[in-house]
Structure 1
């Protein structure tokens, strides 16, 4: 399973780009999964549902299953948040996992940078940032700089970097 990240500061367009990349890369016949790092408390369940009640009662894991999907919720309790490698190990193998966030992890990444969002360029300090997708001109950073709207070009770069290019 190949892994490539998409990082950037808040409101830079990471999620929109990941969504467009998944569409582009799956249209090329590859299987893709994603991991999204949330910096806030998140709950995929709704208070009052049966599965929420199971968790509230103390179940360590609750699997919710239907005819269209299943989801496994694992309560960390006193456990540390798992590292990216630990999360990847739990996933079903695919051709490519696109990781949104986890900017401090050591996997290769694409930085999303928007002029209006501000924020310093992560690429200046992080050698794992292999390229930058942006809506503005940037100084030479010794890495490819692509237009944020060039989804096919960004996909080409990611597939080449991961060895999945055909």
Structure 2
């Protein structure tokens, strides 16, 4: 499997881009899994349902299963600083691509997404990550002319509004993204 991260500050369009990239990869016959890092409490279980009641009773894991899908809900005894490699280990390895949204401090190769804020918003532009993050392999932006700093030659410049072209780039460089779990444990 190939693994590629997509990292940006909130509101830059990570999820919208990933929806388009997933659809474009699927249209080309690629099997895709995703990992989404959330910075808030997530609960996919419905209060009052049997699986929710199992968790409330103290089950540390509940596997919800039907004929079309399964979902694993795992409770941690204490808050965890989860590692992207541990999350990848939870997935099936027989997919073509795993796209990771978030985990911007992780060491997976990643596409940085950057947008110049609307001038009427009064918000300042967010800093670019690629100068300080050697894991950034590409920069996707909606307006390269507005970048405060141009990426070096080893960081591809991609059009955020051209997801098909981003997928072309991903497929052309697929060998760079073959996932190998770190030796001797995981890294964040």
State the TM-score, normalized to the length of structure 2.
0.82
- The worse-fitting range, judged by mean Cα deviation, of 41-50 and 152-161 is 152-161
Note the residue ranges of structure 2 that are not aligned, 5 or more in a row.
118-122, 178-188
CA contact (8 A) 2:139 2:151 kept: no
1:115-150 deviations in Å (ceiling 9; x for gaps)? 117311111211111111111222321122221111
Count of residues in Structure 1 that have an aligned counterpart in Structure 2: 165
Q: Hey, what does 1:140 align to over in structure 2? A: 150
Q: CA RMSD in A?
A: 1.7
Q: Hey, what does 1:41 align to over in structure 2? A: 41
Q: Secondary structure at the match of 2:100?
A: strand
Q: Hey, what does 1:122 align to over in structure 2? A: 129
Matched, 1:104 2:105: yes
Note the residue ranges of structure 1 that are not aligned, 5 or more in a row.
none
Aligned ranges 1:77-92 → 2 under 5 Å:
77-78=77-78, 80-92=80-92
1:53-110 deviations in Å (ceiling 9; x for gaps)? 1101100100111222110111111363431111111111211100000011101000
State the TM-score, normalized to the length of structure 1.
0.92
Matched, 1:24 2:24: yes
1:101 & 1:21 partners in 2: Cα distance? 15
